[in-house]
Amino acid sequence: MTLGSMTFGSGTGAYGAMCTVGQDAADDLVARAFDAGVNCFNAASTYGGGESEEILGRALGKRRGDAVLMSKVGFRLTKDVLDGGTSGRSIIKTCDDCLRTLGTDWLDVFEVHRVDPHTPMDEILAALDLLVQQGKWRYTAFANWPAWMVGRANALQQECRQAPFRATELLYTLINRDIEESHIDLLAAAAPPVHQPAGPLRGLPRGTAAHARCELLHRQRRLGQRIDAFGRQRRLSGRQGRPNHNVQGAGL
pLDDT on residue 15:
66
If one compares 108 and 174, the residue with the highest pLDDT of the two is: 108
pLDDT tens figures, 59-74 = 999 999 999 999 999 8
Quote the pLDDT of residue 171.
Answer: 82
What per-residue confidence (pLDDT) applies to 67? 95
pLDDT value of residue 224: 65
15 is catalytic: no
Q: What is the dihedral of CA 109, 115, 118, 124, to 10 degrees?
A: 20
Cα-based distances in Å from 151 to 57, 120, 185, 223, 236:
34, 15, 11, 27, 29
Q: What does the DSSP assignment read for 169-210? A: E----SS--THHHHTHHHHHHH---EEPPP-TTTTPPTTSHH
Q: Which of 8-22, 108-122, 226-240 has the lowest mean pLDDT?
A: 226-240
Return the HEC string of 43-86. Answer: CCCCHHHHHHHHHHHHHHHHHHHHCEEEEEECCCCCCCCCCCCC
pLDDT tens sequence across 32-68: 999 999 999 999 888 887 889 999 999 999 999 999 9
Quickly state the pLDDT bin for 125 (edges 50, 70, 90).
very high
Mean pLDDT, the chain, as a whole number? 80
Find, among 98, 105, 108, 104, the residue nearest to 53 by Cα.
98
| For residue 116, pLDDT beyond 50 | yes
pLDDT of res. 222: 64
2-201: in CATH 3.40.50.300 = no
Does residue 121 carry a pLDDT above 60?
yes
Residues 20-29 as b/e (b if ≥16 CB within 10 A, e otherwise) read: ebeeeebeeb
Between CA 52 and CA 14 the distance in angstroms is 12
Residue 10: the pLDDT is 84
pLDDT at 122 over 70: yes
15, 47, 139, 172: the catalytic one is 47
180-233 pLDDT, tens per residue? 888 888 877 775 554 545 444 444 445 556 556 656 665 666 666 666 666 666
Domain ranges of the chain: 2-201, 204-252
Is residue 153 over pLDDT 80? yes
The pLDDT value recorded for residue 240 is: 58
Of the two residues 237 and 149, the one the predictor is more confident about is 149
